[in-house]
Amino acid sequence: MAERSDGRLDTGTGVAGGPGAGVTPRGAEGPAAATPGTAVEPSAASRGTAVDPAAVTPGTAVEPADRAGGAQAPGDAPASGVNAPASAGDAPASGVNAPASAGDAPRWQAAVARRTGETDVRLTLNLRGSGRAELEFPVPFLRHMLHLFAVHGRFDLTVQADGDVDVDDHHLVEDIGLCLGKALHQALGDKRGIRRYGERHTPMDETLARAVIDLSGRPAFVLHANIPAQRVGTFPTELVREFFKSFANEGRMALHLAVLYGEDSHHMIEALFKATAAALREATSPDGDAVPSSKGVLE
Ligand SMILES: [Mn+2]
């Protein structure tokens, strides 16, 4: 295990400042390089400002009508009408526009800020987004993967992060996975009205990967993959496991990943991220009004 206690950060970007100091975008490898075509400039709201749900997603910013039918992400549009008033479900129609519970931010969105002696991560997630990614952190291969993740899940995802990458990429990769899981869990609220399960096979050329998800509230993670290369670019491939393990733990889901076969390490990892995004899109997609559990509760 790498040393974790020295508390040093990459002070070259000013991250070691106070909690409100923000993460200075890394110009040379900024979002334009990381996410060609879809990257957007950091908004004033997300740059240099403390990230908290209230700041990033003010109460009026997102219409709770997202849940009220018709507002599903493009392509979902179940013909049956998810929130048909004649539904035999037990959720009263008035519940559709009510906050899921006290303190819940706008549904389907979350913001997470987490700062430790090793890393400083600010992340926002919108499960009903359009696939926009804004990624600023010094792990190029993971930027590539999270860009794919946003596109194939049609999530909006922003990550501004820095950390002790002079040690290695381990802490930062692990902590970004952790914050993504936290954001997912927050964004789902009480999990009312989602499918809960999702699965996808994703090929990438000679490789075939599979992701199966249950948003059960119980963390579990299984990865079956023999990735031949030690590194892809500068990225240690062993960190794929660390990233997804943190994501599954904090997202409180069962996440089962497998590379069924393949040859190219880049393809294998990319297919895993794409499959996970698509499976998560399915698992979080609208389905009825109830909490999808015979117990009535998913934590
Ligand atoms: Mn690629």
CA of 148 to the centre of ligand 1 (A): 9
Please report the pLDDT score of residue 1 as a whole number. 37
Of 15, 35, 38, give the one whose Cα is nearest residue 171.
Answer: 15
Residue type, 77: A
Domains of the chain, residue spans: 29-55+105-283
Of 276, 296, 288, give the one whose Cα is nearest residue 80.
Answer: 288
CA of 258 to the centre of ligand 1 (A): 18
Of 204, 221, 211, give the one whose Cα is nearest residue 258.
Answer: 211
Distance CA 182, CA 201 (A): 25
CA of 279 to the centre of ligand 1 (A): 19
Angle at 271 between CA 71 and CA 133, to 5 degrees: 45
Q: What is the pLDDT along the chain (299 residues), one digit of tens a residue?
A: 333 334 343 333 333 333 433 333 343 343 434 344 444 434 433 333 344 444 444 333 333 333 333 333 343 434 433 333 433 344 343 333 444 444 445 689 999 999 999 999 999 999 999 999 999 999 999 999 999 999 999 999 999 999 999 999 999 999 999 999 999 999 999 999 999 999 999 999 999 999 999 999 999 999 999 999 999 999 999 999 999 999 999 999 999 999 999 999 999 999 999 999 999 999 999 998 899 998 889 88
CA of 47 to the centre of ligand 1 (A): 28
Query: pTM for the whole thing?
Result: 0.68
CA of 283 to the centre of ligand 1 (A): 24
CA of 255 to the centre of ligand 1 (A): 22
CA of 289 to the centre of ligand 1 (A): 38
- What are the φ and ψ backbone dihedral angles of 243, each rounded to 5 degrees? -60, -55
CA of 7 to the centre of ligand 1 (A): 33
Coil/strand/helix, residue 208: strand
CA of 266 to the centre of ligand 1 (A): 6
CA of 243 to the centre of ligand 1 (A): 17
CA of 144 to the centre of ligand 1 (A): 7
* Radius of gyration of the chain, Cα coordinates, nearest whole angstrom: 19
Token readout for 124 is 């926002």
CA of 172 to the centre of ligand 1 (A): 20
Please report the pLDDT score of residue 106 as a whole number. 66
Please report the pLDDT score of residue 283 as a whole number. 98
Distance CA 215, CA 197 (A): 6
Please report the pLDDT score of residue 147 as a whole number. 98
CA of 185 to the centre of ligand 1 (A): 27
CA of 59 to the centre of ligand 1 (A): 37
Q: Does domain 29-55+105-283 have CATH number 3.90.1150.10?
A: no
Of 277, 296, 251, 243, give the one whose Cα is nearest residue 154.
Answer: 277
CA of 252 to the centre of ligand 1 (A): 28
Distance CA 153, CA 146 (A): 10
The DSSP-derived string for 63-107 is -GGGGGSS-SPTTT--TT-TT-TT--SSS-GGGGGS-SSTT--ST
CA of 58 to the centre of ligand 1 (A): 35
Give helix 265-283 / helix 140-153 axis angle, nearest 10°: 40
Q: Where are the beta strands (DSSP E) in the chain?
A: 109-115, 119-126, 133-136, 156-163, 197-204, 207-214, 220-224, 231-232, 235-236, 254-261
CA of 201 to the centre of ligand 1 (A): 17
Of 195, 176, 189, give the one whose Cα is nearest residue 112.
Answer: 176
Neighbours of ion ligand 1 (CB under 5 A): 270
Please report the pLDDT score of residue 33 as a whole number. 40
Please report the pLDDT score of residue 238 as a whole number. 98
Beta carbons within 8 Å of 33's beta carbon, 6+ residues apart? none
Please report the pLDDT score of residue 266 as a whole number. 98
- Other CB atoms within a 10 A radius of the CB of residue 110 amount to 26
